[in-house]
Structure 1
Amino acid sequence: MNYLSTRGDPTPRKFCEILLEGLAPDGGLYLPERYPQVDADMLARWRTLAYHELAFEILSLYIDDIPAEDLRALCAKTYTEEVFGSADITPLRELEDGVYLEGLSNGPTLAFKDMAMQLLGNLFEYELGRRGEQLNILGATSGDTGSAAEYAMKGKKGVRVFMTSPDGRMSPFQQAQMFSLQDANIHNIAIAGVFDDCQDIVKAVSNDLAFKREYRIGTVNSINWARLLAQVVYYFKGWIEATGPQGGEVSFTVPSGNFGNVCAGHVARMMGLPIRKLVVATNENDVLDEFFRTGVYRVRGAADTHETSSPSMDISKASNFERFVFDLLGRDGARTKALFQDALAREGQFDLSTDPVFADAAGRFGFRSGRSTHADRLATIRDTDERFAVLIDTHTADGLKVAREHVEPGVPMVVLETALPIKFAATIVEALGREPDRPARFDGIESLPKRVVRLPADAEQVKRYIAEHCAA
């Protein structure tokens, strides 16, 4: 399997090359040259597999430069009951008739990002060891990616992490998870700005090819194809559990800011998984909902990016959206580049509302969308607690609120849970008047010593910091 860039670079690359590279040299994102297809026999065979076995079956369709037994061992090492709290890994529960929650937040940092990041850490260590090389990972986080990456990479041989985050814009618990880590290979950089500023810095550094090569810069954000690929697995697992032996279609609702989580669902659907709808749930930062309603993709500036009670979705530049638009445009790399490199830079938006392909977003590709507000979150958290004795976090509440607007009779609707409520305790207290449960290992985490440096939203200063804190 070879990989290509969404912006037209035709150079074929293998999985392990793009694993360590992140962005393509032309600034695009990597996608496989084709989506492997699954059939009814494969799906039937996969129904009885443990999660790590299912992960191997799916990943092996995309990875042919890691020996099969090594890949199988990496999956088995990653997806264990000890790491994820249950043998089921992603337990599914039915909330009400036809509406399910798929639990993705039982890993080390209590967020769905662990599902991919734990595998990514093992893949990095394996490939770097095989090459005898080192990698300096530069990432951006709006809340959960950072802690998931740092917990997955801490102590890993050959890996350093430089994680940018918007200063003061994460919950206290999220900040404490990251900043309290004292491992020498972990560096936290709080940026004066919003998440989009952090993301812009990561892209700017990745696009400086000379610096990237000299300092061996890689990424763990969902612009890294390996991370997105790992997330494809839990769509297959959700489908297996929601449809039962009879099979049939299923829909998924995904709280989304950067379009990475739901893009994995798009990949699963393109592979032939019977997904009827992929519903994108946003908060007040509704750039994605606006596109799927109107065909206009309009990036907001920092001043217009709202600080909300579902902060991991406080994003107005959805990096992974480029992967979907590339498919929407018939994999036209030149046109994708014109939209994302030229039109966004020039006008801050692009408009596909009158283009016939826009209808395909809902028709051929199954996308729908909706928006949730702070008041909606509070109401959904209260309702779910009162009626079902189930406590959900703020982002999952956004997903559940929007999911109910798109339920169809006879089609299971699976809402992807994104984090445990303790990560957003202040909003839970506002909704219910009580603190959410806290795993014992996180008692007092907010009072631990912090290890963080604060920098302006300036890629050059971030590059200088990296150069000073790693070996070239």
Structure 2
Amino acid sequence: MRYLSTRGHADRKRFCEILLEGLAPDGGLYLPESYPQIDDATLTRLRKVYHEQGYADLAFEILSLYIDDIPAADLRALCAKTYTAEVFGTGEIVPLRHLEDGVWIEALSNGPTLAFKDMAMQLLGNLFEYELGRRGEELNILGATSGDTGSAAEYAMRGKKGVRVFMTSPHGRMSPFQQAQMFSLMDANIYNIAVKGVFDDCQDMVKAVSNDLDFKRKYKIGTVNSINWARLLAQVVYYFAGYIQATTKNAEQVSFAVPSGNFGNVCAGHVARMMGLPIAKLVVATNENDVLDEFFRTGVYRVRGTADTHETSSPSMDISKASNFERFVFDLLGRDGARTKALFADALNQGGQFDLSKDPAFADAATRYGFISGKSTHANRLDTIRDTWARHGMMIDTHTADGLKVALEQRSADVPMVVLETALPIKFAQTVQEALGREPDRPAKFEGIEALPKRVLVMDADVAAVKALIARECGY
């Protein structure tokens, strides 16, 4: 298996090369040269593996289709080390919870930081440590988070040999619980940077550093955001697990509703569908920052500036520049790297938007790729949280509420709809309290976390300052 850049860079690389690299040298994102195809016999075998051996073995089966430069025995051991009941709180790892006729919630938030990001990040931490150990090298991870990526990355990388984490986040725009999870970590290899701005400013800084190839090589800069293919690949697995749990035979279709800001989570569903998993619809659910919903309705992709990026009660989706969206557009345009580069490197920089509404490829995007979309507001979130609690006795977080609201609008009577859970309600307690008049349950290990001492550096959205910090802390 070889990987190529969405912007046409000539080199073809193997998995472990792009694992440590992040962005391609031309600023593009990596994708496999082709998607491995799942036929009926393979899906039958995967179904048996999941039911008889469990999630870790299913993960190995999926990952091994894309990874041929890690020995099979080592890859299997890494999956077994990652997906355990001790780490994820249940041997099922990602159980489906029935909500009502034809609607399920896939529980993805049983990991160490109570968010779906743990599903991929725990594996990524073990992959990094394994590959760096083989090479005798170090890696400096520079990341951006709007909420859950940062804590998931830091909990996955804390104490890992050869790894430092420099995590940027928008100053004052995460929930108190999310901030406390990150900023209370005192591990020597963890650096928290609160940026005066919004998530897109953080993401732009990460890309700017990654695009400085001399700095990137000297300081061995890597990424854990979903621009890293390894993280997105790990997320593909739970689409297979959700499908297998929701069906009894291979011919059945399932739809997935995915709360989405940066397009990474739902892009993993796109990959699963391209592999042949029988997914009817991929429902993209946004909050008031509806750049993705606007595209799937109109064909116009319009990035908003800092002033037009709303601060909402589902803050992990307060994003107006979806970095993973480039992967889907690359496929949509027939894998035309030059045209993809023209859109994302030129059109967005010049005008902040591009328009594919007249392109024949966009005309059949919903039919060919299954994407539909919708949006949810603060009032919608409150209503959905209240309704789900009143009718089903199930408490959900604000992002999952966005997904469920749009899912209920887009469901079909004959196709199961699986809503991907984003996080546990405690991470967004203030809004849940507003909706229900009571605090969500809090796991014992997080009691009093907001009162713990914090270690965080506040700085402007200054690329040079971030580079100087990395250089100083690395000492070379």
Equivalences for residues 102-117 of structure 1 within 5 A: 102-117=106-121
User: What is the distance in 1 between the residues matched to 2:249 and 2:293?
Assistant: 34
Output the amino acid matched with 1:179. F
Q: CA deviation at 1:247?
A: 4.6
Match of 1:464 among 455, 465, 468: 468
User: What is aligned with 1:318?
Assistant: 322
| 1:93-127 CA-partner distances (Å, limit 9, x unpaired) | 11010010000000000000000000000000000
User: What is the distance in 1 between the residues matched to 2:218 and 2:475?
Assistant: 10
CA RMSD across the alignment:
0.6
User: What is aligned with 1:380?
Assistant: 384
Equivalences for residues 50-449 of structure 1 within 5 A: 50-245=54-249, 247-449=251-453
Output the amino acid matched with 2:10. P
Report the secondary structure of 2:28's partner residue: coil
User: What is the distance in 2 between the residues matched to 1:94 and 1:246?
Assistant: 20
User: What is the distance in 2 between the residues matched to 1:450 and 1:312?
Assistant: 21
Report the secondary structure of 2:313's partner residue: coil
User: What is the distance in 2 between the residues matched to 1:360 and 1:399?
Assistant: 24
Moved over 2 A (4+): 244-247
| 1:70-112 CA-partner distances (Å, limit 9, x unpaired) | 0000000000000000000001011010010000000000000
**Unmatched 5+ stretches in structure 1:** none
| 1:208-267 CA-partner distances (Å, limit 9, x unpaired) | 000000000000000000000000000000000011246510000000000000000000
User: What is the distance in 1 between the residues matched to 2:457 and 2:469?
Assistant: 10
Question: Relative to structure 1, is the Cα distance of residues 91 and 247 closer, same or farther in structure 2, using a 3 angstrom cutoff?
Answer: farther
User: What is the distance in 2 between the residues matched to 1:206 and 1:33?
Assistant: 23
Are positions 1:31 and 2:31 aligned together?
yes
**Unmatched 5+ stretches in structure 2:** none
Report the secondary structure of 2:248's partner residue: helix
Report the secondary structure of 1:418's partner residue: coil
User: What is the distance in 1 between the residues matched to 2:131 and 2:416?
Assistant: 39
Output the amino acid matched with 1:229. L
Report the secondary structure of 1:404's partner residue: helix
Output the amino acid matched with 1:46. L
Asked if the contact 2:44/2:250 (under 8 Å) is kept, the reply is no
User: What is the distance in 2 between the residues matched to 1:407 and 1:132?
Assistant: 50
Give percent identity, aligned residues only: 80
Report the secondary structure of 1:47's partner residue: helix
User: What is the distance in 2 between the residues matched to 1:274 and 1:359?
Assistant: 22
Q: CA deviation at 1:46?
A: 1.2
Asked if the contact 1:240/1:247 (under 8 Å) is kept, the reply is no
User: What is the distance in 1 between the residues matched to 2:249 and 2:39?
Assistant: 15
User: What is the distance in 1 between the residues matched to 2:38 and 2:356?
Assistant: 31
User: What is the distance in 2 between the residues matched to 1:357 and 1:32?
Assistant: 21
Figure out how many residues of one structure are paired with residues of the other and give that number.
472
Asked if the contact 2:43/2:250 (under 8 Å) is kept, the reply is no
Asked if the contact 2:151/2:182 (under 8 Å) is kept, the reply is yes
| 1:276-295 CA-partner distances (Å, limit 9, x unpaired) | 10000000000000000000
**TM-score scaled to structure 2, two decimals?**
0.99
| 1:345-384 CA-partner distances (Å, limit 9, x unpaired) | 0000000001111123201001000000000000000000
Report the secondary structure of 1:363's partner residue: helix
User: What is the distance in 2 between the residues matched to 1:359 and 1:377?
Assistant: 31
User: What is aligned with 1:42?
Assistant: 42
| 1:151-199 CA-partner distances (Å, limit 9, x unpaired) | 0000000000000000000000000000000000000000000000000
User: What is the distance in 1 between the residues matched to 2:281 and 2:290?
Assistant: 19
Report the secondary structure of 2:10's partner residue: coil
Asked if the contact 1:284/1:306 (under 8 Å) is kept, the reply is yes
Report the secondary structure of 1:375's partner residue: helix
Output the amino acid matched with 2:55. Y
Output the amino acid matched with 1:232. V
User: What is the distance in 2 between the residues matched to 1:382 and 1:160?
Assistant: 42
Report the secondary structure of 2:31's partner residue: strand
User: What is the distance in 2 between the residues matched to 1:128 and 1:363?
Assistant: 43
| 1:134-163 CA-partner distances (Å, limit 9, x unpaired) | 000000000000000000000000000000
Asked if the contact 1:328/1:360 (under 8 Å) is kept, the reply is no
Asked if the contact 1:215/1:471 (under 8 Å) is kept, the reply is no
Report the secondary structure of 2:97's partner residue: strand
User: What is aligned with 2:11?
Assistant: 11
| 1:393-437 CA-partner distances (Å, limit 9, x unpaired) | 000000000001111111000000000000000000100000000
